[in-house]
Amino acid sequence: MSNIMNILQGCVRYPPAPGGAETVVKAYSEGLAGKGHNVEVITTDLYTETPFVKKEMPSEVSGIPVSRHSAFTISGEAHYVLAPGMIKSFLSKKADIIHTHSYGYFQNHAGWIREKLQSTPWVITPHFHPSWSMWGGAKRRTLRDFYDSKIGRSTMEAADLITCVSNHEKEVLVKEIGLNDDNIKIIYNGIYWDDWKEIPSKKVFRDKFPQISDRFVIFAGRLATNKGLTNLIEAISIGDSDEFDLVIMGADMGLGKELDALSLSQNVKMHRLGHVDDNVYRSALAAAEVLVLPSEYEAFGIVLLEAAAANTPVIGTRVGGIPEAMSENNNGLIVEYDNSNELSKAIFSILEDSKMSKEMGDFGRKFSSNFSWENIIDILEKEYDSLLA
């Protein structure tokens, strides 16, 4: 057992605000607190960043104290989230370790100031997205390239440890930002295996959405431009089968109406469910024939592990950390991004082969059990201990 540590986690948003990095920070915070450490989260009052929505949210979540500071943005192409109150928070709170999340955000500068002024060991998990995969036009990319070379790199180099969620993310940081890889460790993302010990009941989903066909393909995640959703709709329409519905589940980042219009014009029976609660979410993954993640970029892809835990085959694109979050040809298929024909072939090969589908589902169950947050928190705790040694 390691000594009790005071740990500050810093992030741009924290649940109930939705998102992938947010899920990770919550898992870290609750897992470390469960091992007896004192954990506090420093974040902003942002609920979503695009669109820029601020919201009154609790100052304690599942027993973890959360300080939420007022966020401002430099708008337009230069969009950057500022939260000056974070600096005072980082400097005034008791901490043996500070751990900030997400590359290119204000909390890293606040963490850097704390490390400089008080020599507190500092860990950063960048949840890195390369510049080509971000929203915005040429001007925003130019600003980002400037940021990477002048500010981003020196911030990252100041950290005592960088943890990446996949080998791919580490390679991109070395290549794009020019970091030295001797200070980078891989700590994969995970799932709460307790939630998946039993395969979720399909009945919860079926009862709630009786209008959805018994056999459906599912996408779960934010409805954003970099998720490849237009490819998914096209891929289903190429298969031209009215036996299968398409279910799109997740918060709408402004794409919803466009997707509705496209599915209508392509004659695809699509159901857009928005954000659903955890029980319905798990049931939906279990009830689906296949989960598809057709993204342009993902640093990892937790949803692939969740679908695997639900005994459901998966299809992902050969980008980012996706190939590390699944086992190609064992629990699913990998296709090239932005290729609707190849995606369609992959989807229908699983839909039309029940033996392969069952084998992939069974393999995925075993595969995903290796990625429990419990094991991941043990690894993280050891890294903290070695920084304090």
SS3 sequence of 324-379: HCCCECCCEEEECCCCHHHHHHHHHHHHCCHHHHHHHHHHHHHHHCCCEHHHHHHH
Q: What is the DSSP letter of 149?
A: I
The domain 194-368: what is its CATH number?
Answer: 3.40.50.2000
Assigned architecture for domain 6-190+372-388: 3-Layer(aba) Sandwich (3.40)
Task: Establish whether domains 6-190+372-388 and 194-368 are of one fold.
Answer: yes
Residue 1 is classified by DSSP as -
Determine the Cα–Cα distance for residues 114 and 107; give it in Å rounded to an integer: 11
User: Virtual CA dihedral for 318, 319, 323, 328, nearest 10 degrees?
Assistant: -10
Gyration radius of the chain over CA positions:
21
**Residue entry with tokens 């955000």:** 105
Domain ranges (residues) in the chain: 6-190+372-388, 194-368
pLDDT of residue 179: 81
Q: State the Cα–Cα distance between residues 187 and 377, nearest whole angstrom.
A: 9
Q: What is the pLDDT of residue 211?
A: 97
Which has the closest alpha carbon to 306: 288, 330, 333, 329?
Answer: 288
Give residue 20's pLDDT: 80
pLDDT at 5: 97
Please name the residues in contact with 194: beta carbons below 8 A apart, sequence gap of 6 or more.
none
For tokens 């590359």, the residue is 103
- Coil, strand or helix at 272: strand
Residue 142 confidence (pLDDT): 67
C-alpha distances in angstroms, 134 versus 29, 225, 227, 330? 27, 9, 11, 31
pLDDT of residue 149: 65
CB 123 within 8 A of CB 35: no
Stretches where the chain sits below pLDDT 50 are none
Q: How far is CA 345 from the centre of its chain?
A: 27
Beta strands in the chain (DSSP E): 6-10, 38-44, 46-48, 53-54, 60-61, 64-69, 72-74, 80-82, 97-101, 122-125, 161-164, 184-186, 216-220, 245-249, 270-274, 290-293, 314-317, 332-335
pLDDT score recorded for residue 9: 97
Strands 80-82 and 72-74: antiparallel
Structure tokens at 138: 């040429």
Q: State the amino acid at position 337 in one-letter form.
A: Y
How many other C-beta atoms lie within 10 A of the C-beta of residue 386? 12
